[in-house]
Amino acid sequence: MVAVFLVATLGVLALVTQAGVLLAQRAYPAKGRMVEVAGGVLHIVDIGPRNAPGPPIVMLHGASSTLEVMRQPVGQRLAEDHRVILIDRPGHGWSTRHHLDDSTPESQGRMIHEALARLGVDRAVFVVHSWAGALGARMALDYPRAVAGLVMLAPVAYPWPGGVGRFNRLVAMPVIGPLLAYTITLPLGYFLTEPGARGVFLPQPMPDGFVQDTATPLLLRPRQFIANALDLVTLKAAVAAQAPRYSQIKTPVTIIAGDESDRTVSTRIHSRPLAAAVPDARLIVLPGVGHMVQNVAPDLVVTEVEAMMRMTLRTASEPD
């Protein structure tokens, strides 16, 4: 009798999940173009003047989010004067990845590099946040000619003590992960998404409407939730493998992070050592600022990206 009740409950939750997926996708439709690459299809929003001087600005979001996190407030402002390319990372938002275990900065960097080549972009300034800090660093290592400059916002770069949360580890497991993702994750997530987002902003308040404005509910779709969990679970080993190579990064790097008020990604563990390891790196630490640097200090971020753009223009005009 208990088994019958359990199966029936899971069946109802699965139906609720599928209905929730349809509602979320209707509420937050794709707004860009789809670019097919080896291993997936990437959703790309290309804004700003195409004929602007200098390389485009490519913006990459962190975990548990979509490209909309990078659009407002910084991306849209930069697009007033520059071509800005916003990308849903593979498996996130409206981007897909054929193999969910393509979860590392290396594999996602390969797909993004291919997508940019298909757009005719061979060189760009990258603006990366949080999880994508490891991705930006990896792309600077693997595709140095493609990365003209790198602006990193509260980046992940090194292994850290502890893990990434028990539920993420469960969802990343075979069998039990899909069972959870296709039944309880979406119904439960509707109650937990907003408190979770508020926690990432601390000690600053979360802007009103942030969850809806950034299409965050798309994360609750089963396949994206599994992809996100795999990204988190495999990240520690990935940064441990690439961190010894950071001294080989030749591109100019600007790192902007909060101080120890950032309880999501420790500046002491990540940003400070990264700034010391990269030869041409500059670190800006913001007192009392948490993890969402681009929302708390958008003027500063825009100023630093503009400075990086000017630097790339000067470098490009110098004789070989």
Q: 243-287: per-residue pLDDT in tens?
A: 999 999 999 999 999 999 999 999 999 999 999 999 999 999 999
CATH 3.40.50.1820 is held by the domain 2-317: yes
**pTM of the full structure:** 0.96
- Within 10 angstroms of residue 134's Cβ, the number of other Cβ atoms is 30
Q: Hey, which bits of the chain come out as E strands?
A: 33-37, 40-47, 57-60, 84-87, 96-97, 124-129, 147-153, 253-258, 281-286
Query: Which of 267, 287, 274, 272 shows the shortest CA–CA distance to 247?
Result: 274
Q: What pLDDT does residue 319 have?
A: 53
pLDDT over threshold 80, residue 1: no
**Residues 312/89/117/46 CA torsion (nearest 10 deg):** -70
**Amino acid letter, residue 74:** V
Q: What pLDDT does residue 315 have?
A: 73
SS3 at position 90: coil
pLDDT over threshold 70, residue 317: no
Q: How many angstroms separate the CA atoms of 237 and 320, rounded?
A: 39
Please write the tens of the pLDDT for every residue from 21-48: 999 999 999 999 999 999 999 999 999 9
pLDDT over threshold 90, residue 320: no
Q: What pLDDT does residue 190 have?
A: 86
pLDDT over threshold 60, residue 67: yes
Residue 6 pLDDT grade (very low, low, confident, very high; cuts 50, 70, 90): confident
| Sequence-ordered list of residues with C-beta below 8 angstroms from that of 117, at least 6 positions apart, any chain | none
CA neighbours within 13 Å on the CB side: how many for 4? 1
Q: What pLDDT does residue 236 have?
A: 97
> Per the structure block, which two tokens stand in for 81?
């004067």
